[in-house]
Every structure is written in C-alpha cells, then in structure tokens.
Structure 1
C-alpha cells in the first residue's frame, strides 16, 4: 500500500510508489484520489503497468491526496470486485479503504454484520472495517475508526482516505510494516516498505508501531494509540522473503538480516563444495553471507527472467509450477563439473527446489546441496500468506531426509529457529524477540478465532509426523 497527502499530481506519485512495492502483490492494482471533495479511482487486474498502461488513466486522477494498493489475495480470489482501494460513497461522507493482511475473525464478523443487514460487494475481509465504522455511534470519524480497529483481529495495515484526511493504522502485533515519510515540499507519505521512500525522494519519519494509527491532514500529522494491548510480533517472512532488501523494518535493514542468516547457516550447516549459488532474487543476500562465512566463491549459477512474477505469491498451484519452469535458467559455464551449494530463502511447497536441483544437474553440476536460510516451514499461516492449509506445506508431511529425496539434492539443511532470530537481530521484550515464528514453531501470537479448527488439524499432522 502507498498513500500521499499534500502534493499536486498525487496519483502519479502514488503510481511510482506502488511500482516499488509491486513485489508485494501482482494480481491487481488500484489508485484512488481525493479530487475537489470527491473520491475518484481506477483499478484493474494484473501488474501496475498493465492496469495503468495509458497516460490518460493517470491524467484523469487529479488531486493532492491519493492511496494505492497492489493485490495479493489470501485465498486466490483475485476478481475485479476484490481489487482495492475500495470507494464507499454515503449520503454524509466518502471514504476509500485499502488493507494488507488477513482478519482471523473476519468470517464471524461478516456473518454478524450480514445478519444486521450489511451488504458486501466483495469476498475480501477488507470491507468489514468500513461496515464497523459506519455502525459506530461515536461522534467523530477518528473515534469511530479507533472503536472499529479494536473489533477486528489478526494482521492488518489499513489506509483510509477521505477528502479531509489520510489515516493509517497497524494491528496490535505489527505483523506487516507501515512507515511514515515526508517529501521536501512537506507532503506526507505512508508506505508498506521504506524502499518506496527512496524511489520518490522522501525521508523516513516514523515506523508505525503496533496499536498505532496516524492521521494526516493539511495542518499536520498526529500519531495516536487506539489500544494499549500490544505485543510486537513482526512477521519473520518479511525479513526472509517478502520485503525488498533495500527496505528497513523496525530499524533493521532487510539485506543485512538476510546476509546474517546466510552467515549463520554456513556455521550451522557447512558444505564441502566448489561454489555457492543464490536463488534470485530474495536469496542473493543470504548466499553472499554464506559464501563470506565459508570462504567459498559466490557465483551466479542461476539467472532469473526478470519479467516473470514471483511464484510464491501466484494465486494457484498450476500458475506457480508454470512460473517456476519459466523464471530460472542455470549457467552451465559456472556449474559444469562443480560441486555446488544452493542457498534459498525457504521451501514451502517444494516445487521450486526440485526444479532448481534438476536444472543444475542438467547443466553439469556433479553435486547439488541445498541450504535453506530459514527453518522448516511446517505450519499454516493465518495472517495474510496464502498457505492456510498444511497440505500445501511439504515439511508438514515429510522429514528433512524425505524432502531431500523428493527434491533430489545430495544434502539438505535448514537454518535453526534461534539462528533465524539472532540473525535478524530484533531485541524487543516479547516472545522470539519480537518476531512471529508461527510458520516454524506452531506458536501463534494471537487467538486464531475462525481458523482454530485448521490449527488443530495442523498440530495433529505434526504429532503424527513426529
């Protein structure tokens, strides 16, 4: 998500900001502007450049404030009706709403609201907050938003745009990053990652903290708490996979964290090989750390087709498998006749790893050893990543040795949980030093509400595996 307040041609700036965040969602995109007291938007399916492929689509969005969103759907439901930001026009106010994350009590709230007469136009849980805001009896919009934020549970970043203000809010655990920045002309920026600030020349001001909301208007910005019941639980996958390496989250640079993970992995799981190869692009930092720590040359043994979307966040398994076959090529001049260690950020379904091992063998590698710069991904996610069913997780059903056999590697090792935590280097007074490690430990930092039954199934599967 990206929001801007206080600059002419806000939609164009929003476009550039979203472009730097395209890695976070590739199924759809949209921008809404505040224009002469009214909200107006454009959205569509596909990448940002496909949605805004004509100049007039940006030109018609005149205004000095805007919010934008790139879509990554939790359940693969990426139809037009789910593309954000949503615009709501009532007799007494207009609001636009964008959301990143997933509500763990969304299904329950939706049923309750529908029973009270609410009508939903999408299958997204994003709309729930707007229905709660409209039903609140508080006097001001800010008070209504605060009350509503205390009713939704799970992982959420919200951006709300009205003709009078831009509002950002973060859940009480801070699962996803949200930061405030400022341009030299005084305009304020809200973005999912700080890398968007660098692209448009904004300076960082503040990381929105768990339970905080920020309100920006023509006079100032103000940060307020909407709840004191907070526990820092930043999603570890932000550092492992999702965020860009040039972003900072809670004061920690993502590239530095990944490089540290590679260093630690080399200590925990050394390999007697000729070259280290990183899987582009999110694993290159970890591969660099692994190579430096081990003293083994770091080579470009895999080349990525830069025009292929990220397979992890493709909406269906069929598209993921097609994407894997199209996105990577092995460099035979680097790996032919060599023993290689491949450093990757994670193994989720196993599709990519199996393909990589075969690619390298076909290119002449005599041994292929896999090293994963994160722990075994054993448990489903309920906070905004499309792996809600443990059936999708290869580590939920197989031991490390069984996974090694399936992907065809000569050896396989994963970074430990403690090694991951120490490498990232957060130091909050919270479980796992402020990281959510639920994918790897099965310990979730919040009640799971609607997903409790799914969690119990995953626990039973893990017990059976052990």
Structure 2
C-alpha cells in the first residue's frame, strides 16, 4: 500500500518530495524517507543525501534544516511505508540507497513480490548479504548483479526475474526512473510542475499540493525514464518489461479503501467510483423502511466510507426510502489507523480512542452504518457496541464491498485466512451478522463491485474470490528477523 514519490529537474526537489509524501501519508504511517541527488557543478560528481526515520512525515522531517540544508539537489525520491514483507525497524525504511559499479542507486517500492522466498534463497546461496528483511532489497541486488552494461538494461534484467506487484521509483546519478509491473496492480501517475520538473506519485493528490499537472499514468509494464534530455525536449522516454501476461489486474481495493477520494487512479476519479459503490449498495441492500415518525438515519465510518455513504443515501432517497444522513461518529485524527493493526488484543481500546459517538444523534434511533469493508470484524464489532451503548435501538450494517475471504499477496497486509471473519465463518452472512451484533447486514456483490469500476480495465478481486492473477509461493512467509543498529546517538528499535 506504500506511497512513493519522485521528482526530476527542480531546485527544491526535497521540499517538493516532502509535500508529496505529506499528501500520500494515508498510504503508510510506519516510516518515511527521502533521498536527493546533489551534483557538484565544478567537478560534475554526484552524491546521494538521505534522511529516514520511523514515524509520520511531519515527525521525521520536523527539523526544516534537513530539507533546506541537507537534502540538496535537483532530483529526489521518497517513500511512506506500510509494511507487508519485513518487520518494522530502521533497516527496512525506504528508500534504499546503494553504490554499485554504475554509480549511485536509490529505490522506493509500493507493492509486494510473490516469489520473494525463491529469489532470496537463490541470492543467499550465491553469497549475497542482505541488510534488511524486505522484498525490495532483492530488486537492488538483481540490478547490481546483472551482467548487462547499460543501466536501463540492468533494471530490465532484474524486473524480468521478479513476480507480483511493484510500482517503483528509482533514482540514479542522472535519471529518475518510474516502473509499473505488467499487471498494473498498484497505481502510478506521471505529471509536470509549473516550472517544468517531472514528477511521479502513487496518487494524483500529491500533484495538487505542489501545483503539478497530471499527464498520464505510467502504463502497466512500462519503464519511464526522465533525464536532462527529457527536460529539454519534453519527450518522455519509455522502455518495456519483456514479460507476457494473460491480462492486467488492477487492484480493486484501491477504489474501495486505499486511495484518497480526491485522487485520480487508473485513469478514473476515486470519488466517482466510491459514490457508485454506495449507490449500487442501496439497490442490493436497501436501508430498512423509514417513516417521518421513525426515520432511519445513515452514518458513515469516517473517513474512508464518507463518499460511499453519500452515494448510498442519495440513491436511497431516489428509490423512495426517506432516510437521513447524520454524523454519528466523530474520529480523532491524531491516532493511527485501526485497519490491520498487529496488536490484536489492543484493537478494541484503539477503536474507542479513535472514534466517539454523538449520543444526541444516535439515542433511540434506527441506525444504518455504511463502511467500505470488513476485515477481521473486530473493529466493526466494537463500533456496533459503541453505537448501541449510545442508545441506538437498532443497528444495520451495509458494506460497500464483498466479503473478504482470502489473503492478499500484492501489497495489502491482510491477516491469515483464518483471521478474516468472512473466511472464518465460511462466508455465512447470517453468522457474521450474529457475531457483529446487528439487526441486519448487507455486502455489495462482486458483480456490482465491478459494475462500479471502469469497464475498460481488468481488476484483481483475489481477496474476494480467491482468483489470484499470478502464481503464489507455497505458504508465503514474512522474514521476521530483526536487524538492530546502535550508534552513539541511536537507541535500539
């Protein structure tokens, strides 16, 4: 899910990257980092400056001098981490930086490789030493070990060996390179600033903050190269990953949850798709009949279901159901997401810390909760309890996506299959209703989900259907060992 950003040809490249990462904070809150390329005008030599840390963008870069005085240069890349492969420690914070036979190289990765174990074992058996436990480092080693002479060919050589989901930004001494895997799992957009610098980002909301104009998406299987020649001519260089696939597989969950509603991904506005999800949900699973004397209220679970809730309510009214939208939950924006937290026993407390109820709105009312998805079900169950404790006489749940029954191996850190409530209860919606403690529950069907998405695209729905578009390593595993680093001014993680 991570957020990546890159820029080439801007005198304040690190500052632009900081703003870009700030706009992409929703895609990862564990750690962040920026690498800039600084060129000595007299000698022509380049050096890479970098700063990384655990925490939010505003925390890691709270000292302005890091951006203004240390991270100098006219090109930079940045990364916000949401971990899937690899534990949370300093050695796993991206971007990664190396110096190899062709110069400096930095890389930031959004996605998840599906042949990690095979590649890692092969590299280790040949003597490769790993400094982190993430799959991204594998890409660096494959590039460095390539026997090709040309740097782009080395990158192509590496990419032809990896499988799975990857959107990449790569920084070299004289280039910014953006890559998207042939399936197109994760989004990656290309833009240009007012003063002619080229930018790439996971979502277009990063462009809005720096007044950059969206040009187009990096296409599935495309390697986009930006250098000084491109700055002069305006002609973007493209190369292609030489790998045949049956069909593309854009992640449908980007529209459901990940991306910001003000972003454009896969060539479509997220807000538009989310509203349609809510509208189709109102057709498939209407709210209970509402009267003037006993009006049903509809509330969203802020913030990811806001737009779908608007669609649900407007369509419900069109269908003659006189429901009313209300704000029944208040979210604190000063705590992290409860979505997919590793500490299961702390989840209920975190829900209370994150959400509070508006008792005057909920008391004595029949309430419909609209949410974007249900993963484990623990958060949903705790929310229902909060709402009933606030005095709601009925609670009905509506979900703007199908039941999540299968783990994701392409960048969503879904738990193991037996932790998913829909899988654990064998897809029995009535049992899910009972466990959540609601009067009714309705999930959007896979058919309606795809109806809401752009028709000309092919989507990955593996977390709902189990139909994985790529081969998956048998029993995929995380490399959970820790690498601890200690210096005079650094404590153990």
* 2:291 equivalent to 1:266: no
Is the CA contact (8 Å cut-off) linking 1:104 and 1:450 kept in structure 2? no
Indicate the residue corresponding to 2:219 in structure 1: 209
TM-score normalised by L of structure 1:
0.94
Give the corresponding residue for 1:382: 409
Is it true that 1:345 corresponds to 2:355 in the alignment?
no
| Cα distance between partner residues in 2 of 1:320 and 1:51 | 26
Shift of 1:76: 6.4
1:52–1:324 Cα change, 3 Å: same
Q: In the aligned structure 2, how far is the partner of 1:413 from the partner of 1:306?
A: 28
Structure 2 counterparts to residues 138-217 of structure 1, below 5 A? 138-217=148-227
Give 1 or 2 for the bigger CA radius of gyration: 2
Matches within 5 A, 1:303-452: 303-318=330-345, 320-398=347-425, 399-428=428-457, 434-451=458-475
User: In the aligned structure 1, how far is the partner of 2:185 from the partner of 2:362?
Assistant: 39
1:368 and 1:142 mapped to 2: Cα distance? Answer: 57
1:239 counterpart residue number: 255
Task: Indicate how the Cα distance of structure 1 residues 75 and 328 shifts in structure 2: closer, same or farther if over 3 A, else same.
Answer: farther
Verify the 8 A CA contact 2:370 2:398 in the aligned structure 1: yes
1:451 to partner: Cα distance:
4.2
Aligned counterpart for 2:143 among listed residues 110, 133, 137: 133
Give a deviation string over 1:150-206, Cα, whole Å, max 9, x none: 100001111110110011111111110001000011100010011111111100111
Q: Distance in 1 between matches of 2:328 and 2:195?
A: 45
1-side partners of 2:402 and 2:102: how far apart? 51
Partner SS for 2:16: helix
Structure 1 counterpart of 2:487: none
Please point out which of 286, 310, 313 is paired with 1:291: 313
Which residue of structure 1 lines up, in the alignment, with residue 9 of structure 2?
Answer: 6
Q: Select which of 58, 71, 79 maps to 2:81.
A: 71
In 1, Cα distance between equivalents of 2:34 and 2:339: 25
Q: Distance in 1 between matches of 2:171 and 2:116?
A: 22
SS in 2 for 1:311: coil
| SS of aligned partner of 2:229 | coil
Aligned to 1:282: 304
Paired position in structure 1 for 2:24? 21
**Structure 2 match to 1:462:** none
- CA displacement, residues 284-327 of structure 1 (integer Å, 9 cap, x when unaligned): 11110110111121111111101121221434434544432211
Maintained 8 Å contact 2:34/2:79: yes
2:29 is the alignment partner of 1:47: no
CA, structure 1 residues 302+416, in 2 after alignment: closer, same or farther (shift >3 Å)?
Answer: same
Deviations 1:314-363 (A, max 9, x none): 34434544432211111112111110110000000111111111111111
**In the alignment, which residue of structure 2 is the partner of 1:459?**
none
Partners of 1:195 and 1:247 within 8 A in 2: yes
| Count of aligned pairs | 449
**Aligned equivalents of 1:271, 1:297: Cα separation in 2:** 11
Residue 224 (structure 1) aligns with: 239
Q: Kindly provide the CA deviation profile for residues 244-288 of structure 1, in whole angstroms up to 9, marking residues without a partner as x.
A: 001111221111111101100010001215111111001011110
Change (3 A) 1:123 1:322: farther
Contact 2:365 2:394 in 1 (8 A): yes
TM-score, structure 2 normalization: 0.89
Residue 316 to residue 208, structure 1, CA distance change in 2 (3 Å): farther
1:387 partner SS:
coil
